[in-house]
């Protein structure tokens, strides 16, 4: 076997490919090393354990699914952002069947602190993106947010709806778009 050290990104890319082709059970130190054409020790140079490898793979899948789009217009309009996010969720489910329900939520269990921390960091990144969009959207009426009802709190609501949609495998954003329209754009007086 070739003992040439590979890069961390190549290891994660190979792990994602194994998951796509063979499912989650295919990801372990030996199978990833074999698929990369390197020694088991080479994988251990980057990941201390299978749990760390799987946790990093989960994080890389979330990053792949929600990679920043080429068009920055998605981040200037809340409705466009939601449509984009639901489209990415659907694509992620197609590329990684069962990912959202089986493993990403399973990392929230207390016995997997590294996975839980990675999930929280990834989810915080998504929440921060939603807050950014809410603050950039010039179509939102000026009185939509208050001290009690902030952009951050509404981003939490939108993110909760997104997670719920992932569990239900419902990638139709229309209901969420209606909530956004009524809450942020229409004159509520």
Print the domain residue range for 26.
8-47
Same domain, yes or no, for 87 and 177?
Answer: yes
Tokens (6 digits) for 162: 């997104």
For residue 72, give every residue at least 6 positions away whose Cβ sits within 8 Å of its Cβ, in sequence order, or none: none
Q: Which of 101, 98, 68 lies closest to 85 in space, CA to CA?
A: 68
Write out the DSSP string of 15-77: HHHHHHHH-GGG-SHHHHHHHHTS-HHHHHTT-SSHHHHHHHHHHHHHHHHTPPPS-GGGGT-
Per-residue pLDDT tens listing for the chain (189 residues): 444 557 999 999 999 999 888 887 888 999 999 999 999 999 999 999 988 898 888 889 888 888 877 777 788 899 999 999 999 999 988 888 877 766 555 554 544 566 667 777 888 888 999 999 999 999 999 999 999 999 999 999 999 999 889 888 899 999 999 999 999 997 654
What span, in angstroms and rounded, lies between the C-alpha atoms of 79 and 96?
A: 25
pTM higher than 0.85: no
Same domain, yes or no, for 42 and 65?
Answer: no
DSSP state of 185: I
Q: What is the CATH number of the domain that holds 40?
A: 1.10.10.60
Same domain, yes or no, for 18 and 79?
Answer: no
Same domain, yes or no, for 19 and 111?
Answer: no
Structural domain includes residue 54: no
Same domain, yes or no, for 20 and 96?
Answer: no
Same domain, yes or no, for 170 and 148?
Answer: yes
**Longest alpha-carbon distance in the chain:** 71
């Amino acid at each position: 076997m070739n003992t040439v050290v590979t890069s961390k990104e190549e290891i994660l890319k190979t792990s994602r490919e194994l998951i796509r082709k063979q499912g989650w059970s295919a990801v372990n130190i030996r199978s990833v090393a074999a698929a990369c054409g390197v020694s088991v020790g080479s994988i251990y140079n980057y990941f201390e354990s299978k749990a760390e490898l799987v946790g990093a793979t989960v994080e890389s899948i979330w990053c792949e699914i929600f990679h920043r789009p080429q068009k920055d217009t998605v981040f200037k309009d809340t409705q466009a952002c939601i449509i984009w996010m639901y489209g990415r969720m659907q694509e992620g489910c197609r590329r990684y069947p069962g990912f959202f329900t089986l493993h990403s939520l399973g990392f929230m269990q207390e016995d997997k602190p590294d996975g839980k921390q990675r999930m929280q960091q990834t989810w915080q990144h998504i929440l921060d993106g939603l807050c950014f969009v809410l603050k950039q959207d010039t179509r939102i009426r000026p009185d939509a947010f208050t001290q009690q009802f902030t952009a951050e709190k509404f981003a939490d609501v939108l993110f909760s709806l997104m997670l719920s949609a992932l569990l239900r495998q419902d990638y139709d954003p229309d209901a969420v778009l209606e909530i956004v329209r009524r809450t942020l754009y229409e004159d509520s007086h």
